[in-house]
Structure 1
Amino acid sequence: MMYSVSTELYQEVAARLAEAIGSGSYYSGTLAFEYGDVECRLTASVIVYRERVRYPEGDRDEVADLVPVWWEFHTADEAGEFLNDFSFSELRSLL
């Protein structure tokens, strides 16, 4: 069985990863959560590149790019783990 990762799931992973990264310039860790009836787990080590963005209320450093050193995305249900079509490039485009 091949699990197709939806846009909504990519958005969920992006939001969780952005929160985990915070203001850091490097992230290494695991995000595990349930998405519907699927257990998802992203294990990643990424270098975070930032750029200064100017807003009327002040300047802010925002994520400009993520460069993965290592990543794995696993999906499973009660029957066990199964393949998925997760793409880190797709995830990067949402951050």
Structure 2
Amino acid sequence: MYPVSSELYRQVAAFLAQVVGGRSYFSGSVEGETEGAAWRLTASVIVYRRRVSQPEGTAEPISDLVPVWWEFHTFAADGEVPNDFSFGEIRDLFRSL
């Protein structure tokens, strides 16, 4: 079993935020490499945002991602490895921003 670290959750969330951009719905994949393994998240998510007003202007950062469907795969040199990924951890990262 490949243990998904806090660092990997942050990396996945950063990649996901980048590809979601300003959309309110995302369906697709993000992938990367870390800690000796490659990973791929394929997901369809509904994107919720909150409005933040500051003297410099208004922004609408992601406040939550509600998964419709998702799969997270990890790959080592000898093939796919089961992992302990939880989409709830990704949601918690966005909720805490």
Establish whether TM, by shorter chain, passes 0.5: yes
Amino acid at match of 2:45: V
Question: How many equivalent residue pairs?
Answer: 94
| 1:70 CA drift (Å) | 0.5
Distance 1:55 1:93 in 2: 24
| 1:59 CA drift (Å) | 1.1
Moved over 3 A (4+): none
- Which residue of the partner structure matches residue 27 of structure 2? 28
The percent of aligned pairs where both chains have the same amino acid is 57
- Which residue of the partner structure matches residue 18 of structure 2? 19
Show the 5 A alignment for 1:62-81.
62-81=61-80
For normalisation by structure 1, the TM-score amounts to 0.94
| 1:63 CA drift (Å) | 0.9
Q: CA RMSD in A?
A: 0.9
Question: Which of the pair is proportionally richer in strand?
Answer: 1
SS at match of 1:84: coil
- Which residue of the partner structure matches residue 88 of structure 1? 87
